[in-house]
Amino acid sequence: MDYIFALVWIYFNMIVLEDLRKSYGAIKALDGLSLEVKKGELFAFLGPNGAGKTTTIRILTGLTRLDSGQVFIDGVDIEKEPLTVKRLCGLVTQHTNLDGELSVAENLDIHGRLFGLNRSQRREKSEEFLHYVEMSDRAGSQVKTLSGGLKRRLMIARALIHSPRLLFLDEPTVGLDAAIRRRIWSLITKISQAGVTIFLTTHYIEEAEFLAGRVAFIDRGRLLETDSPRAVMDRLGQWAVDVHDGEKAKTFFFGDRTEAGKLIGQHPGAGAVRRVNLEDAFLAKTGRRVD
């Protein structure tokens, strides 16, 4: 029965990690990481620099071998069938890796070829996803002439061209201004609503708070907590007051705004009452900021 339950559990989750371990010399990048991501979920994976986020994504996308543990993507064991897993996934990397000398359409065509799409499929999918990211009018543009925001949208279109079931977004809005970030958020939401499972890493904490149905905190290669952003924040309280005392700063959390307001009247170094945010929760858990 336990074996049958495990099979069903693996089948109904898009990602299953079991006791994942990876070391680089004496450094433990992942130290017994276990988690699952449900099919169709928009899942944010958060942690400071050196927490193990990049190593996890590299293992999930088949770029790095694990030392021990198990990884299943849509029920497929990544160690046994790595090529099958790669066909299931799309990846938008943190750094732009488009060919600047080629046109928008040519970049998509090359990616379609790599995934075995024939000519008519490549043309159809290119037109479909350029329309999806609102870039139909830029098909003939040389990539190096595009703005940062357009390049990000093109990278997302390229990652979707082979119709992946799972999309990895590694810092998808890094370096973009606030207005362009919001436009990318709308696109990510649309992709999620279409049923694609999304695994997001970001150092913009408000991005995870706004987009994700569930978040995971990782630090020093270990999973600290996973839940909805609202549930994680509610465990601290509804309201926060930052108190500055000389060189030290401390945040106090309250379930009631009236009680939070009382602290301001009692402490000359207190700031205004504000809503608890996701970064408060991460700091409370790790003592470090999300990077």
What are the residue ranges in the chain where pLDDT is below 70?
1-9, 246, 288-291
pLDDT score for 1: 41
pLDDT of residue 2: 60
Taking a C-beta distance cutoff of 8 angstroms, is the pair 213, 41 a contact? yes
**What does the pLDDT read at residue 3?**
54
Structure tokens at 248: 């030290």
Q: In this structure, which long-range contacts are made by residues 79-86, counting pairs with CB atoms below 8 Å and at least 24 apart in sequence?
A: 86/61, 86/62
So what's the pLDDT on residue 243? 86
Q: What is the pLDDT of residues 22-52, one digit of tens each?
A: 999 999 999 999 999 999 999 999 998 889 9
Q: What is the pLDDT of residues 167-183, one digit of tens each?
A: 999 999 988 888 999 99
pLDDT of residue 121: 96
Contact predicate 241/49, CB 8 Å = no
**Amino acid 198: pLDDT:** 98
pTM above 0.95, yes or no: no
Rounded to the nearest 10 degrees, how much is the dihedral formed by the CA atoms of 195, 177, 97, 197? -10
Q: What's the confidence (pLDDT) of residue 261?
A: 84
